[in-house]
Structure 1
Amino acid sequence: MKSENEDAVTQHNKRNQFENKIDSTQVMKAIRLHKFGGAEVLQYEEAPLPGLKPGEVLIRVHAVGINPPDWYLRDGYKMLPPEWRPPVPLPVIPGSDVSGVVEAIAGDVQGFSVGDEVFGMIRFPSFGESAAYAEYVTAPASDLAHKPAGINHVHAAAAPMAGLTAWQFLLELGHDVQNPLQPEMHRPVPLKGKRVLVNGAAGGVGHLAVQLAKWKGAYVIAVASGKHESFLRELGADEFIDYKKTPPEDVVHDVDLVLDTLGGPTTGRFLRTLKRGGALFPVFLGFSDAEEAAKLGVTVSMTQVRSNGPQLAEFGHLLDAGTVRVAIDSTFPLADAQKAHERAARGHIQGKIVLTVV
């Protein structure tokens, strides 16, 4: 058995070997955009290898989960008012969700070693010089968790943003950053014994929210298109509503909580489904019925998902145990990121879309 000193020497040598290697190559393959627009602006090309900074880990990426913020960035955040659009220096690599293997660590990093399999949502909601659609990415160690041994890189890459969104909305916020759009901090509500409706239940956030709510003892009503019914019942949904046949607000009443993963300007219709004292959690912007909500005694609250390695580790334990599973809609090679975004644009996604990196 190696001593701790021998292990430290091995890690140091591995780190030096990698640094020597990147000195001679300097580039990697990545998806970058040089202008904003549709899927066609995603270019597979050589890009500089990211440099390792204090507190960071360098990851050899095996898989990348794609998420709505990826296409919001791609089109220049057109969905936001102009004054809310963050400056984006071009060219830029999109993406936040990765699973891969640690290639190097900064000297001040604890808890990770070269060769560890890790997954994480990196730097979200901000972004930096290094992002996910690439062969290598640097990440703050605080954004990472060890990949669950019981799942592969594709499923691990699919989990972080969707899983943390469901977790932070439903179970534990995990940060103290104030949402400027509401006076109160977002507060999850107790779920045990409660009636919870999940709209958009087959999507990335939705199908994980269904499972987390069931895990916490809720009675779950899933809303999606009819083709997803068997999928959602397998995940534990107690009731299913095909929104194409029946508007859920016409048939559901006295719900304690609605998680509307679609959000937007139509989310106010779910006020009709809630009991007095209930809560409506829209995942995306657009709710404009605050006066009606107040009359009905309904709390409307949302939050911005944020990177959180410790929460992701907790979620990873559920994935490892099979308590929660991540569904994969489809996979595409990194070079085919355009096709992956085109698939996302067609909608009706069951689970998550993932890019694979060879």
Structure 2
Amino acid sequence: MRAITIHGYGDPDVLEEQEVTEPAFNDNQVLVEVVATSVNPVDSNIRAGLVQEVFPVHQFPHILGLDLAGVVKEVGAAVKHVKRGDRVFGLGSSGTYAEYAVAEGTQIAKLSSNLSFNEAGALPAVALTAWHSLFRYGELKEGERVLIHGGAGGVGHIAIQMAKLTGAHVIATASSRNHEFIRQLGADEVIDYTAVDFSAVVRDVDMVLDFIVGLEQERNCKVLKKGGRVVSIVTPDIADITRAYDVNGKFVIVDPKREELEQIHEWMQDQRLKVHISDIFPLSEAALRMAHTQIETKHTRGKLGIQIRE
């Protein structure tokens, strides 16, 4: 099968197109003919060798990619909720920058025919990260005030929509060019982080979602109510940092479940949750090098998709 691989850590030029063996699967997994996937910031971080302690590559060549949407080709004996030929979406166990990928049966859900593969292939990783940040770790409740950093980004733009579905008051940070986009997603207040120090204008929020590497946690703590919480996907020692400020810090580890994907799917069907795809790239080394270069600007609005098949 055709795949985009890396043979070592490095810049986007290490991405190479090659023919590789179709991945093997076990009784608890399915083999999916991938139609669409996407580029996530973690992909470029893994490629560059920046997150080896958390996401080590044990063997090269390595296929990147988390998201998948496609058609089930083979089903493990213990998987009962899907069958050959079903449309599905979710997370891959093997890399998804490839024509075929393996997924755990617990980490895929059926995809209805009225939703596109490109849409579904761009959503799982960011939607599950937003879900776990808001609900499993953040325990967001109706009427609470939440500050979401990076509101126009992949996780951020989904988190805004999910928080509004819960009935929260949403404050989001974004550059001025993304303010109208953020408001259309439902944000109640928008702060231009390039012009204003958010910690000088925001007060008494119940939760801060920390999606930005290098953001000073003292500033996040400053805007919280007493006993509020900072939920971070980028700062593993957040609990230790926040303890001195009489607030709570929680580091998110995503452990997805099929039921969460099914709820996300329901929101997509009802058009209450929409993923914004800024650009779609074909499965080629030149295109994926461009996509990785773009994602590393850290100014991508929404997601970058990869279409593997028509």
Shift of residue 350, structure 1, vs aligned partner:
0.9
Write out per-residue CA displacement over residues 77-120 of structure 1, whole angstroms, 9 at most, x where no aligned residue.
x3456xx6635201111111110011121233201111111011
Is the contact made by 2:210 and 2:232 (CA closer than 8 Å) also made in structure 1?
yes
Residue correspondences, number: 307
Indicate which of 264, 267, 281 corresponds to 2:217: 267
Structure 1 residue 101 and structure 2 residue 71: aligned?
Answer: yes
Q: Which residue of the partner structure matches residue 130 of structure 2?
A: 166
Structure 1 residue 318 and structure 2 residue 282: aligned?
Answer: no
Is the contact made by 2:227 and 2:247 (CA closer than 8 Å) also made in structure 1?
yes
Compare 322-331 and 148-157 and name the one that shifted more: 148-157
Normalization by structure 1: what TM-score? 0.81
SS in 2 for 1:40: helix
Q: 1:209 to 1:104 in 2, by over 3 A?
A: same
Shift of residue 192, structure 1, vs aligned partner:
0.7
Q: Which residue of the partner structure matches residue 60 of structure 1?
A: 33
Indicate which of 13, 22, 25 corresponds to 1:40: 13
Q: Which structure 1 segments of 5+ residues have no match?
A: 1-27, 124-129, 173-186
Shift of residue 263, structure 1, vs aligned partner:
4.2
Q: Which residue of the partner structure matches residue 203 of structure 1?
A: 153
Q: Which residue of the partner structure matches residue 251 of structure 1?
A: 201
Structure 2 counterpart of 1:337, one-letter code? L
Structure 1 residue 341 and structure 2 residue 292: aligned?
Answer: yes
Q: Which structure 2 segments of 5+ residues have no match?
A: none
**Equivalent-residue separation in structure 2 for 1:355 and 1:193 (angstroms):** 37
Indicate which of 114, 134, 150 corresponds to 1:150: 114
Structure 2 counterpart of 1:155, one-letter code? E
Shift of residue 138, structure 1, vs aligned partner:
1.5
**Equivalent-residue separation in structure 1 for 2:151 and 2:9 (angstroms):** 30
Compare 252-261 and 295-304 and name the one that shifted more: 295-304
Structure 1 residue 355 and structure 2 residue 306: aligned?
Answer: yes
**Equivalent-residue separation in structure 2 for 1:288 and 1:150 (angstroms):** 41
Structure with greater strand percent:
2
Normalization by structure 2: what TM-score? 0.94
Shift of residue 67, structure 1, vs aligned partner:
1.3
Structure of greater Rg: 1
Is the contact made by 1:265 and 1:286 (CA closer than 8 Å) also made in structure 2?
no
SS in 2 for 1:250: helix
**Equivalent-residue separation in structure 1 for 2:260 and 2:239 (angstroms):** 32
**Equivalent-residue separation in structure 1 for 2:143 and 2:180 (angstroms):** 23
Is the contact made by 1:98 and 1:121 (CA closer than 8 Å) also made in structure 2?
yes
Is the contact made by 2:208 and 2:220 (CA closer than 8 Å) also made in structure 1?
yes
Structure 2 counterpart of 1:64, one-letter code? T
Indicate which of 59, 62, 69 corresponds to 1:89: 59
**Equivalent-residue separation in structure 2 for 1:256 and 1:166 (angstroms):** 16
